[in-house]
Amino acid sequence: MLKRLFVIGCAAAFIGGFVTGKSAFGADFDDEMRCMADNMYWESRNQSFRGLIAVGNVVMNRVADSRFPNTVCEVVKQGPEIKSWKSGEYFPKRDRCQFSWYCDGKPDEIPSQDKALYEVIRAMAVKVSTGFFGDITNGATHYHAYYVRPDWADTKTPTVRVDAHIFYRWEK
């Protein structure tokens, strides 16, 4: 019961931030939820409600696994970086990230026709990160589209297929 009240409170505070423009959780929470929402959107915006949740579950399963970074943003942005010879800034190495959208070289601006969808996904991101929906992937830390077969797939345990993605658990 207490967990449910906490989740409801989190969702209310998160949605309240849309109205006031200020977060009840602070900048770190906002950044983490933006990373989660961005990943859910770009990885599964054309999937069902369950597909969106499953992608979010993978991020949270990675955060909980000591073999991956400790925060949502670090998990989403994990991958090799290269230094720009022009500016000296570091950028993700193209096509080498854990989540392909993050380093595909395309702009990450949400299209105007998807703004309402993105707002729903932002609210879902809070619920996924607080465990409200539960883990529908059975502990999956990896996934891929059904029409590709990455080399790592043979070294992981398949757990479930949701929409166009096949999910896998990395056994310890």
Listed by start position, the domains of the chain span: 2-169
Q: Could you tell me which of 88, 89, 90, 92 has the C-alpha nearest to residue 76?
A: 92
CA distance 142 to 160: 11
Q: What pLDDT score does 104 carry? A: 77
Q: Is 5 helix (H, G, I), strand (E, B) or coil?
A: helix
Kindly tell me the burial class for residue 36, based on how many C-beta atoms sit within 10 Å of its own C-beta (0-12, 13-18, 19 or more). buried
User: Largest Cα–Cα distance of the chain, in whole Å?
Assistant: 54
DSSP state of 149: -
pTM above 0.85, yes or no: no
CA distance 168 to 166: 7
Q: What values do phi and psi take at 152, rounded to 5?
A: -70, -20
Per-residue pLDDT of the chain (172 residues; tens, 9 = 90+): 444 444 444 554 444 444 444 444 445 778 999 999 999 999 999 999 999 999 999 999 999 999 999 999 999 999 777 888 889 887 777 777 788 888 878 888 999 999 999 999 999 999 999 999 999 999 999 999 999 999 999 999 999 999 999 999 999 8
Q: What pLDDT score does 21 carry? A: 45
Q: What pLDDT score does 150 carry? A: 93
